[in-house]
Structure 1
């Protein structure tokens, strides 16, 4: 028999991944618009595009992925911002390195770097910030 906590954890990861897809689409759309529509360099456009994706990540993970309805917006926002600062810097550095050392187009590179940072850094740390809906019912 599979542990219900394990199943609940997988459901949280699936919901967070869904939010991650939405945030990534927001990021990629903004990046493409800034680069192709406004003529910005990919390096310069990276920062505002990532910032939009981060906003989607916070609200989506708090409400949808973790089902956290607590009023602790300020505390969680500050903690999330700390994790995202780490993720933001990691994304900028990895994206810059990937641009320098590969010949791949910038959008696929963004997908690779953001996914690496998401699964290796952000998701594990977010689980320490938000109170999961399954923990509330225990």
Structure 2
């Protein structure tokens, strides 16, 4: 009985560590996105919408590499291109989820719950869960024991 409890506790700690690593990688992606965006807009007078294509693309490539090697471990069951395509799909789903929940919050919730920052926080938290679950199960194929 104690061994089962210890094993469950160990799995929970491993999952929490993996999730926190995912959050750290997400923060690194945000910093990369913001830094490149600002450098292109202010340093090179690039249109912000065009600059965002480059900054976001670089951030996604960075987070894919960091998540693959640090968050979810090194080996993968599928090829690099297939893994990256799956990662883009998961990120796209998270983006749609984020935008939809944000819009619902703004358009449906009563004041003061329809404030943009509140809606953004709720949408981002839910999208984080969608992205993490998708990355874990569909991109990097980690099972309940944390193995690939």
In the superposition, the TM-score normalised over structure 1's length comes to 0.69
SS of 2:146's partner is: helix
Kindly provide the CA deviation profile for residues 77-118 of structure 1, in whole angstroms up to 9, marking residues without a partner as x: 221121123345677x69xx9xxxxxxxxxxx9xx68x9175
- The correspondence for 2:75, drawn from 69, 74, 90, is 69
1:116 aligns with 2:124: yes
**Counterparts of 1:27-66 in structure 2 under 5 Å?**
27-66=33-72
Distance (Å, rounded) in 1 between the aligned partners of 2:96 and 2:43: 25
- Please name the residue that 1:127 is paired with: 136
Unaligned segments of structure 1, at least 5 residues: 98-108
- Please name the residue that 1:19 is paired with: 25
Unaligned segments of structure 2, at least 5 residues: 104-116
Rg comparison, structure with higher value: 2
Kindly provide the CA deviation profile for residues 25-80 of structure 1, in whole angstroms up to 9, marking residues without a partner as x: 11111100111111223233222111000000111111100114125223322211
Q: CA RMSD in A?
A: 3.1
Q: Would you say how many aligned residue pairs link Structure 1 and Structure 2?
A: 120
Higher relative contact order structure (alpha carbons within 8 Å, sequence separation ≥ 6)? 1
